[in-house]
Amino acid sequence: MSEQRFVVDNDWTRNWEASIAVKITAVVIWALVFSSIIISAVVLYGTDKRLLVEDTQREEAASTHLQDWFKSNYLSKSDTMETQLAALAEEYGFSGLKVKVYDSEWRAGIFDDSLEARPERRIHFEDEQGGMHSGSLVLFLRPVAQRVAEKRSNFMLGVLVALLAFGAFLIWITNRIVAAPIKKAVETMRRVTNGDLDLRLDVDRRDEYGHLAEFFNSMLNSINDKQHELELALQTAERADKAKSTFLANMSHELRTPLTAVLGFAETLLDPKLSKEEHDGNVRTIMRTGGHLLNVINDILDLGKIEADRLILERVPLSPFQLMSELRTSMELQARAKNINFEINYEYPIPVSIITDPLRLKQILLNLCGNALKFTPNGTVTVNVRADIDQDTISFEVIDTGIGMTDEQMNRIFSDFTQADSSITKKFGGTGLGLSISRRLAEMLNGSLSVTSRVNVGSRFKLTVGTGSLAHVTLVRRADQQPEVIRARDPAQVRPMLSGRVLLAEDSIDNQNLIKFLLRQVGVTATCVDNGELAVAAAKKEQFDLVLMDMQMPIMDGLQATRILRTDGFSAPIIAITANAFREDRDRCIASGCNDVVTKPIDVQYFQDILSKYLTPAPAAENTVKTIPGRPMKTAADINNADPEFQELIGIFLENLPNRVAAIETPLQAEDWKAVKAAAHTLKGIGGSYGFSNVTAVCADIERAALNTDSATCKTLLAQLRDIMESALSTHAVSPNRDAMSS
């Protein structure tokens, strides 16, 4: 948008410097000067002729006057003749006067060359005694031209005075009516510019100035409103900033505490004197705290996605009964551990299926129920499910008999990084993000999340989400009409063995071993190749039921290999294995032709689910594998301790470890930072998978240092890595049948 500006021209013929009042007056005065000059010329036109006529008339009058005077005074008062003539000249406006009767001559007034003598005039009169006499009268006047000029000058002087007086009046009145209000407005605007936004112009006139004042005031009101909004926004931003600072402080505590526990307990695992029970207990602690860390990080990732508008929701059919069943499974253990009743009530009718995002809806409910259990020391947590068929919504009320909240706390709990009370963080932990994320997710699911609560009585969270149209959905009206639900898998549940031929494309031998181990757990063996090109060749040569494709491999990466296979008509499912967990990475894998994506570190349960999805169950039904009871399987390390096969894999890993450390050390001496970074990155990923979190931590530091080409730090860290390696090698005995494992 182009900026509108007033440009002041330095041409003073266009940019008059005088005030508005003077300008208006000047224009008016010009017009008046023109008109008055023309009027003057017209008015004074023929003045000389008029003067001549007047002279003649006065001459006649003076002559008659003189004859009358002679009639009664000629004989008796002739000695006063000159006085009489002077009076006569004055009365009729003559400069001089001369009378001659016979030989007698009388004069009165002025007689000089500048005067003009009128033609001699004959007079006849009768004296007191009746005698008749004759004489002459000569009158003297100033020249006509001189008197005309005098008249003109006086007239023009009068015009000038009138114009000056009128001009002054006009300036005064224009100044009062036009300029003064404008000056006042300018002064007001100047003060407003300096920040006095409460000033207003008087709207006491119904003219252009009145409109100007009205609009100006309106503009100021608008500015005030905007400023108020900005101040509020600033306050909100400051509060958010403060909340984020608090959050960072909390987060650092939240991250450091479990991390310290993980590192501490991991270190104890190196102790050869540790008993089996202690060893298992420590591993479980590591798993639990690791899980907590994962939750914290997931919360942050979710919030980041929501704020960046990158969270894409699914809209798929979901059975509310199935959802509630899974929720019960997830919550029951926790509730039982705290001796709290966990109840789910249905207020019928309930649709058998709704359209929503199951993952996110479950996430909200888990958060609400988790909070309810967390803040309820004893009593009951109840979930009431009710559908509004007309509104196409379903609501879940999570009611607890816990510590409750004040009104002020209720107002705060949905804000980012905020909990009801800072003491909550200290006592119960948490990031203060769960409810904020839940409310946003609820809104994204076309619903809402609200809360009512009373201190020491309990809280009631009401979640409402859109269900899609329920017009043609079957409704369950009684408890006995509830559909069968698939009971969520218990961690202790047995898993059927699978069958099928699997091609594994993975360049890292340790990852190959790990995945092969996991495949063997479900009775499947795999053909391994270590780059995409070999994977393509193998898939074309042999028949496979499933391909597990690492995305980052030398020679040809997994994406390209998948694309080639799909282009060539390869129809078996391909599962991408990648350390990049972002949605766009997943999308890229799917776009290249992969059917599913498994992220590293591998979630064993998810991995086995994926295998079950694409492979057929083994013919022998009794041939099942049972996972370790009492805890969820998350990583391979979860199932390693009692498994000699995994011990074997650790041995292989440790046997290869010196070579991997050398792969870092050699390029480090040559300062080939790219190679150092790549080698450290590889070892970082593998170490954690085999339970050597300290290897992962040090390798991560080396990777960072290599990125900064920090040779000294790299060498120090490398020394630490060597110590860890030696400690690990001396602690772990290498399995005698490792050769078989590595085949």
Contact residues: another protein, CB under 8 A: 9-13, 16-18, 22-23, 25-26, 29-30, 33-34, 37-38, 40-41, 44, 149-150, 152-153, 156-157, 160, 163, 167
Minimal CA–CA distance to 373: which of 405, 398, 408?
398
> CA torsion sign, 552 to 555 to 560 to 565?
negative
SS3 state of residue 62: helix
Nearer to another protein, 46 or 483 (CB): 46
Peptide bond connecting 736 to the previous residue in cis, omega within 30 degrees of 0: no
Q: Where are the beta strands (DSSP E) in 433-558?
A: 448-454, 458-466, 475-476, 494-496, 498-499, 502-505, 526-529, 546-550
Nearer to another protein, 18 or 492 (CB): 18
Nearer to another protein, 23 or 412 (CB): 23
Question: Least separation, in Å, of the C-beta of 10 and another protein?
Answer: 6
8-state DSSP, 80: G
C-alpha span between 504 and 518 (Å, rounded): 12
Question: Least separation, in Å, of the C-beta of 147 and another protein?
Answer: 11
Question: Least separation, in Å, of the C-beta of 18 and another protein?
Answer: 5
Question: Least separation, in Å, of the C-beta of 192 and another protein?
Answer: 30
By the 10 Å C-beta count (0-12 exposed, 13-18 middle, 19+ buried), 241 is classed as: exposed
Question: Least separation, in Å, of the C-beta of 53 and another protein?
Answer: 19
Nearer to another protein, 160 or 219 (CB): 160
What is the crossing angle of helices 81-92 and 47-73, to 10°? Answer: 150
8-state DSSP, 400: E
SS3 state of residue 347: strand
Question: Least separation, in Å, of the C-beta of 104 and another protein?
Answer: 39
Nearer to another protein, 33 or 628 (CB): 33
Nearer to another protein, 29 or 664 (CB): 29
Question: Least separation, in Å, of the C-beta of 175 and another protein?
Answer: 13
Nearer to another protein, 46 or 304 (CB): 46
- DSSP notation for 700-741: HHHHHHHHTT-HHHHHHHHHHHHHHHHHHHHHSPPPTTHHHH
Measured from the Cβ of residue 442, the count of other Cβ atoms closer than 10 Å reads 21
Question: Least separation, in Å, of the C-beta of 146 and another protein?
Answer: 8
Nearer to another protein, 40 or 246 (CB): 40
Question: Least separation, in Å, of the C-beta of 165 and another protein?
Answer: 13
Nearer to another protein, 156 or 675 (CB): 156
Question: Least separation, in Å, of the C-beta of 7 and another protein?
Answer: 13
In the chain, the N- to C-terminal Cα span, in Å, equals 71
Minimal CA–CA distance to 666: which of 678, 655, 652?
678
Nearer to another protein, 116 or 609 (CB): 116
Nearer to another protein, 44 or 189 (CB): 44
Nearer to another protein, 13 or 339 (CB): 13
Question: Least separation, in Å, of the C-beta of 156 and another protein?
Answer: 5
Decide the pairing of beta strands 574-578 and 546-550: parallel
C-alpha span between 737 and 117 (Å, rounded): 162
By the 10 Å C-beta count (0-12 exposed, 13-18 middle, 19+ buried), 259 is classed as: middle
Nearer to another protein, 26 or 675 (CB): 26
Nearer to another protein, 48 or 82 (CB): 48
> CA torsion sign, 433 to 438 to 441 to 447?
negative
CA distances from 375 to 379, 399, 435, 449, 673 (A): 11, 11, 14, 18, 51
Question: Least separation, in Å, of the C-beta of 128 and another protein?
Answer: 48
CA distances from 433 to 243, 319, 402, 416, 574 (A): 11, 28, 20, 6, 36
Q: Going by C-beta distance under 8 Å and a sequence separation of 6 or more, which residues neighbour residue 629?
A: 491, 492
Question: Least separation, in Å, of the C-beta of 107 and another protein?
Answer: 29
**SS3 breakdown of the chain: % helix, strand, coil, rounded to 5?**
55, 15, 30
H or E element at residue 573 = none
Question: Least separation, in Å, of the C-beta of 158 and another protein?
Answer: 11
Phi/psi at 346 (5° precision): -105, 130
